[in-house]
Chains A and B, each alone.
Chain A
Amino acid sequence: MSEFVNTNPADFKGVWVFCEQRQGKMMPTSFELISEARKLADELGVEVCGLLLGSNVEGIAKELGGYGADKVYICDDPALETYTTDAYAKALCDAVVEKKPEIVLFGATNIGRDLAPRCAARLHTGLTADCTHLDVDMDIYKQFLRDNSTLPAERIDGLSKIKVNGEDHSVERDLKMTRPAFGGHLMASIVCPRFRPCMSTVRPGVMKRAEFDQAKADACVVEKLAVKIGPEDLHTQVLEVVKAAKELVDLTGASVVVSVGRGISKDVETGIKLAEELASVLGGVVGASRAVVDSGWMTADHQVGQTGKTVHPHIYVALGISGAIQHLAGMQDSEYIIAVNKNDSAPVFEVADWGICGDLFKVVPMLIEEFKAAFASKA
């Protein structure tokens, strides 16, 4: 590693995605990230490469091409069958040192968020966590700010360089990584001007998956990289991998999410039951605010928000959720938002398309009845 010099950005080319698989099955976020990487690579005029680590995983490589990967590098080794930080960090850093990509994206999963910081520290480079938006092209980035920030126009127009150690640095070709900060109260765009590769983890469900193109999948080049993992590299041993007995709720994939907040506190059981019933009528799943999860009323896999999941379903129903910014950060890009809350000044009404100011225990049964009637008349 000592011979790895990464302070000359011009030596580094290509956008990489760490394509996470579990038990030989590709994680959906890998397809989202390849799609996003395609967009960035086109702005830079470079290739998109997937990096796939595992054991006997060659069969799932080419599918990545269908979403925009020009090439997939595979590190195939029995030591990589199940994720360990030791083995994966070694293989990934070796690959980066050999091939010198300028950008490496990871899904912000429990594994991506373990691996990426370890690798960034080893490679001496910058990492930005849980990004929700990525740009290279300055004009596109500025348009994004015009549409999504309250920054004055002249501030946005003037963005082109930053001071790095007292000297002007142009951010034209740098990846602009935007993420929520301070519990989602602020957004920050971060750059990694001096070191390569620039690394970022991206929240699952945030980037849109491209249309799958079989011809591109067929054309995708697959190349195996040498893996050098010895026993001296391994200090952990996975004794078992257990799938959750209870099917965890798939919030990010759901087209309807009905979430409950502190408003259910006077009768938690009934509140959750009502949300479940409404969700089932609408063909959706049940989510929760941080307060509900922190109180132990629902498990963490239900949590929507800055520290939970980002969702953008077709319909989002917020029941008894006041709408702390950290919750809004996780749901405000939903297509349609319906909010029910007793307090008419609850911030959730600021982002809702329809608001009902009332007691959810009274309103939700009526809503369920109305939805049932509407579906019955359609059938």
Chain B
Amino acid sequence: MKAIVCVKQVPDTSGKVAVNPDGTLNRASMPTISNPDDMNALEAALALKDATGCKVVVVSMGPPPAEGMLHEMLAMGADEAFLISGREFGGSDTFATSQIIAAGIQAIGLDDDDVVFCGRQAIDGDTAQVGPQIAEKLGLPQVSYVAEIKKDGKDIVVKRMLEDGYMTIKVQTPCLLTCIKELNQPRYMNIRGIMESYSMPYTVLDYEALKDSPLIEADTIGLKGSPTNILTSFTPPQKGKGKMLEGADQEACHALVSELAEKHII
């Protein structure tokens, strides 16, 4: 049994963001982080390892600097790391990305009792599409928005969050789960782990390594294989600045409420 964790390095969109004059994101100006939901996915896999002794494999698709993130994950307790990286994979939308990651997971090897963990969504795109699409490409059952995981013999029982409650779902393995932050509290890495991580198995899967997979075709990967195209991107205009009230006292509050009442807003 293995736990395979799909992770992504993302620009930290929580701080100030610089936009280029042409309307694209100035990525160079932004620090990168491991995608937050993916850390919950990793923790879920490590918890499964603690309970069952299974192997934990982390896999990421992205440019070479993502190696640093994968070493941190080895330091946290993962056993093996794979980076899917290649110029041919660039420009992929979620469809093409899931095609490539699914091919990567097949190359790593998917056993009958394996569980694939993903974060619910990445903070750069916020689409939540790649997890379910990998599941479809691999023919695995999926459960998204997972907030609790229990092993039940060969099956897994999970709590799947809805907006107005939750479902308890029993899912056969192998399967794919997408994890939310309510699931757990990611552990820290230890210093010794970081040193050791550099002698642990780390593999780059490039186009050459994956090209024989039936999932990898010229018209299913990269920009050419992406069903969606960006027509244009833009920044919204700032709304005209409103009225700043003088002072922060009772008088100001009175003036505001009076104006709202006069204009029949309240």
Partner-B contacts on A (CB < 8 A): 22, 82-86, 89, 109-111, 113-114, 116-118, 120-122, 124-130, 145, 148-151, 155, 159, 162, 164-165, 171, 176, 180-183, 185-195, 235-244, 248, 282, 290, 294, 300-301, 306-307, 314-315, 324-326, 332, 336-338, 340, 344, 349-359, 362-363, 366-367, 369-371, 373-375, 378
**CB-based contact B175/A235 at 8 Å:** yes
Residues on B with C-beta less than 8 A from A362 are: 248
Q: Which stretch (B52-60, B75-83, B203-211, B223-231) binds chain A?
A: B223-231
A-B contact count (CB 8 A): 275
B184 within 8 A of A: no
Q: Which of B13-21, B63-71, B191-199 contacts A (4 or more CB under 8 A)?
A: B13-21
| Complex contact B239–A367 (CB within 8 A) | no
- Cα separation A39 to B238 with both chains bound (whole Å): 27
Q: Given contacts A114-B142, A124-B227, is CB(A187)–CB(B234) below 8 Å?
A: yes
Shortest distance in angstroms between B20's beta carbon and chain A's nearest beta carbon?
Answer: 10
Interface core residue of B131, B165, B227, B232 (most chain A CB under 10 Å): B227
In the bound complex, do residue B232 and residue A155 qualify as a contact, i.e. CB atoms below 8 Å apart?
A: yes
Contact B123 A307 (CB under 8 A): yes
Q: Is the interface of B mostly helix, strand, loop or mixed?
A: mixed
Partner of A244, one of B23, B164, B175, B259: B164
Size category of the B interface is: 35 or more
Contacts of A301 in B (CB 8 A): 163
A287 to B130, CA, bound (A): 29
Task: Please indicate which of the listed interface residues B11, B253, B256 has the most CB atoms of chain A within 10 Å of its own CB.
Answer: B253
Instruction: Tell me if A235 and B172 are in contact (CB < 8 A).
Output: yes
A363 near B248 with CB under 8 A, answer yes
User: Inside 8 A of A180's CB, which chain B residues have their CB?
Assistant: 126
In whole angstroms, what is the CA distance A123 to B181 when docked? 31
Among A125, A126, A241, contact of B167 (Cβ-Cβ < 8 Å):
A241
Q: Which of B22-42 contact A (CB under 8 A)?
A: 23-25
Q: A194-B227, A367-B256 are known contacts. Are A149 and B234 too (CB-CB below 8 A)?
A: yes
Contact with A118, one of B126, B136, B229, B231 (Cβ below 8 angstroms):
B136
Known: A85-B142, A129-B129, A240-B168. 8 other contacts (CB 8 A): A85-B143, A113-B128, A117-B131, A191-B228, A355-B243, A356-B256, A358-B248, A370-B253
Q: Residue of B at shortest CB range from A375?
A: B266
Partner of A126, one of B95, B157, B181: B95
From A238, A355, A358, A363, give the contact of B242 (CB < 8 A): A355
B95: contacting residue among A121, A185, A189, CB under 8 A = A121
Asked whether B170 lies within 8 Å of A113 as measured between CB atoms, the reply is no
State whether A190 touches B257 (Cβ < 8 A).
no
Is residue B137 contacting chain A, with contact meaning CB distance below 8 A?
yes
How far does the Cβ of A123 sit from chain B's closest Cβ, in whole Å?
10
Known: A236-B171, A324-B14, A374-B257. Is A118-B242 also a contact (CB below 8 A)?
A: no
Tell me how far the C-beta of A125 lies from the nearest C-beta in chain B, rounded to whole angstroms.
5
20 example contacts (A-B, Cβ-Cβ < 8 A) are as follows A110-B161, A117-B94, A125-B95, A126-B93, A130-B126, A150-B235, A151-B234, A182-B124, A182-B125, A185-B25, A185-B235, A189-B234, A194-B227, A239-B168, A244-B166, A337-B242, A350-B238, A367-B257, A371-B266, A373-B257
Whether the pair A182, B23 counts as a contact (CB closer than 8 A) is no
Closest chain A CB from B165 CB (angstroms): 4
| In the bound complex, CA of A236 to CA of B232 (Å) | 40
CB distance B133 to A186 under 8 Å? no
The distance in angstroms between the C-alpha atoms of A195 and B220, with both chains bound, is: 12
| A374-B258 Cα distance, complex, nearest whole Å | 7
Docked Cα-Cα span, A325 to B243, in Å, equals: 20
**Using Cβ atoms and an 8 Å threshold, which residues of chain A touch B266?**
282, 315, 371, 374-375
Task: Specify which chain A residues have a CB less than 8 angstroms from the CB of B243 in the assembled complex.
Answer: 353-355
Q: Which residues of B contact A86 (CB under 8 A)?
A: 141
Nearest to B231 among chain A residues (CB) is A189
- Find chain A residues with CB under 8 A from B248 CB: 340, 356-359, 362-363
